[in-house]
Amino acid sequence: MINNKVKGGAFAIILATAISIGPAINYFEPAPADSVKPVVTAYWDGLGNVWTICKGHTKDVHRGDTATQAQCDRYSLQDRIVAAQTVHRCLPMLTDPDQLGGLTDAAFNLGSGVVCSSTLRRDAEAGDYWGMCMQLTDATGADGMPDGWTKANGVRLKGLVLRRIYDRDWCLGHKHPLPTDISP
């Protein structure tokens, strides 16, 4: 789970960051309806075109897979740690907890490309942290419009727009409280 090369203070930062994004994951990655059952079944995420289980876990998930709540909790922590390690590996100059939190949630949701191979990374390497955070909402999509990372299968999704705004604001140090009641 934790890369053996990560030691000392870096380990503490990675673990703290992974823990800090838990509420955002719980809010933006609502578990399917069967999540209140003792065993959760994998579902096809048609937007991401991937088998998914629990709250956004996709690694080695196949049709018919099941997981207990304890397994879902482990998957969530493992996935959050991987996202935090990715941010640490690709943007090692960052130490601000808000920047790390916002970018780690984005990496959890979008994958490593958002922090490892993007204008966001170039801005961070140049010391333009405001520009780095703004890339979460100002990135240019494939159609040339400033809406990168808000579409699935070519369709802009309100949930992705709201998550990018949340992550951007968190990265800028303006983290908003998430509603505790997420029912419609």
Among 170, 108, 91, 106, CA closest to 139: 106
Alpha-carbon span 29 to 1, nearest angstrom:
21
Cross-strand pairs, 39: 68
Q: Map out the domains of the chain as residue ranges.
A: 8-171
Q: Name the band, by pLDDT with cuts 50, 70 and 90, for residue 26.
A: confident
In CATH, the number for domain 8-171 is: 1.10.530.40
CB 96 within 8 A of CB 133: no
pLDDT at 165: 92
pLDDT at 184: 39
Residue 57 is classified by DSSP as B
Task: Give yes or no for residue 1 having a pLDDT over 50.
Answer: no
String of b and e for 33-46 (b: at least 16 CB within 10 Å)?
Answer: eebeeeebebbebe
CB 92 within 8 A of CB 79: no
pLDDT at 182: 47
Highest mean pLDDT among 24-28, 43-47, 168-172: 168-172
pLDDT at 183: 42
Q: Name the band, by pLDDT with cuts 50, 70 and 90, for residue 10.
A: confident
Least confidently predicted of 7-11, 57-61, 119-123, 125-129: 7-11
Least confidently predicted of 17-21, 32-36, 131-135, 178-182: 32-36
CB 135 within 8 A of CB 118: yes
